[in-house]
Amino acid sequence: MNVTIGIIGFGYMGYYHYKKILPKTDNFQVLAAYDVDASRREFVKGLGLTSYDSLDEFLKDDSFNTVLVSTPNDSHLALVLAALDAGKNVICEKPVSLNADEIEQMIAASKKNNKLFTVRQNRRRDGDFLMVKNVISEGTLGEVFRVESRVDGSNGIPSDWRRVKKNGGGMLLDWGPHQIDQLLCLIPSKVVSVYADLLNLKYEVDDNLIIELRFENGLSALIEVFTSAFISYPRWHVLGSGGCLDIKDLDGEGQIVRGIVEEMEWGLHLVDHWGPKEPAHEPTSATRTMKPRPEHTIERIQVPKIAQDWQHFYFNYYEALNGKAELFVKPEESLRVMKVIDVAFESSRIGKSISCDI
C-alpha cells in the first residue's frame, strides 16, 4: 500500500516535508493538513490539499493512513496519542517528547492500537555521520576510546517557539536528540554516567551546552552545542589507539591522521627508521610529550565524502508499513535518547555527574 499522509503543523518543518522531502520519495502522497493558525490553513488550501479547521475533523479523514506531527515540542504528546487512537500510523518530528514518560505513553498507545509509530531521526543519514560510522567500523583508528560531536554557530536561537521554555525550546531538545541518537548508534554499549552543563546566555532556554557521556565499555563521548561561537570546532573528532579522525563540518570535509611509527623516543638519537641518526633537537615549547610529530612518521588519509540520504527514512517507512522491513528508527531507540536527555537536564540542575543504566 502507498503511504498517504496528513500533516499536523504546516509551519516551517511541515511545509519543508511537503515541498522538499516527500516529492522525492516514491509511493508517498500528502493529502491533507491541519494547523491551528488560520493563515496557514488558507495556505494549505492554496496548495490544493484538504485543509481542516479542527483536529477532530482532520483525524476522521480516512483518505490518509499516516499522520506526520510537525508542531512545537510541547504539543507532541497529545497529538501523537490522538492520532494513534484515531487509527492512524504516526511519524513524529524530533524531539518526540519533552521527557521519557511521554514517549512511553506513545509507545503504549501504538501497541494498543497496533499502529506504526516512529520518530524522524533524519541525521542518522547525514553524510558526515555515515563517514564517522564507516571509519570506526573499518577499524582504521584502532580501538576507539573517545568520540566528540559538536555543532556551533553565532546566530543564537531562531526567533520562534524554540526560545520559549514552555514550548520545549532550547538546544538540548533541538540538537540534543540528533547528537545523542547518533552516538547511541555508534557506540554499542550502555550509558553509565551523564554530566551536563546547560547555559542560558541570551534566552530563558539553554542556548549553549556541554554533555559528557560515559559508556559501560569504557568509551567516553562529548556533545557540545554553541550558538554563540564565532570560531568553529570540528564537527567530529574521534580518537583511537592508532589514529584520529576529524570531520570539519556538516559538508563532510574529513581526514584521518595516524602514526606509521609506533612511538617517538626522546633520547640522544632518533630511532633508526625515522632516518639517519642525528642528535635529537630540543622541543620548541616547554613540553616534549606534546611536541608535534615529524610529518614522515604519520599518514594523512582523506576520507571519501558520503552524500546525505534523508529519503532513506521514508523508503524504510514504506517498507515497514507493508510488512517488508523493521522500522529504521524504532520507538524504543527514541525512548533511550529521551532517557539520556532527562538525566542531562537533572545533571545540569544539580551540577554533578549522574550514574545511570541506559
Q: What is the mean pLDDT of residues 91-119?
A: 99
Enumerate residues 6+ apart whose C-beta is below 8 A from 180. 211, 213, 223, 337, 340, 341
Q: Could you give the CA distance from residue 258 to residue 274 in angstroms, rounded to a whole number?
A: 15
**What are the boundaries of each domain within the chain?**
3-123+309-328, 125-257+295-308+340-355, 258-294
Q: Could you give the CA distance from residue 24 to residue 311 in angstroms, rounded to a whole number?
A: 7
- Count the residues in the chain: 358
Q: How confident is the model at residue 249 (pLDDT cuts 50, 70, 90)?
A: very high
Q: How confident is the model at residue 269 (pLDDT cuts 50, 70, 90)?
A: very low
Task: Let me know if the fold of 3-123+309-328 is the same as that of 125-257+295-308+340-355.
Answer: no
235, three cell numbers: 564537527
CA atoms within 13 A on the CB side of 83: 31
Q: Which has the higher per-residue pLDDT, 266 or 305?
A: 305
Q: What is the mean pLDDT of residues 36-50?
A: 97
Q: What is the pTM of this model?
A: 0.92
Q: Is the dihedral of CA 346, 348, 350, 356 positive or negative?
A: positive
**pLDDT over 90 percentage in the chain:** 85
At residue 146's C-alpha, the angle toward residues 145 and 152, to 5°, is: 170
Q: How confident is the model at residue 221 (pLDDT cuts 50, 70, 90)?
A: very high
Q: What is the mean pLDDT of residues 138-150?
A: 97
Beta pairing, strands 220-226 & 144-152:
parallel
Q: What is the mean pLDDT of residues 277-285?
A: 52
290, three cell numbers: 606534546
The CATH fold assigned to 3-123+309-328 is Rossmann fold (3.40.50)
Q: Could you give the CA distance from residue 300 to residue 321 in angstroms, rounded to a whole number?
A: 45
The CATH fold assigned to 125-257+295-308+340-355 is Dihydrodipicolinate Reductase; domain 2 (3.30.360)
Q: Could you give the CA distance from residue 66 to residue 113 in angstroms, rounded to a whole number?
A: 13
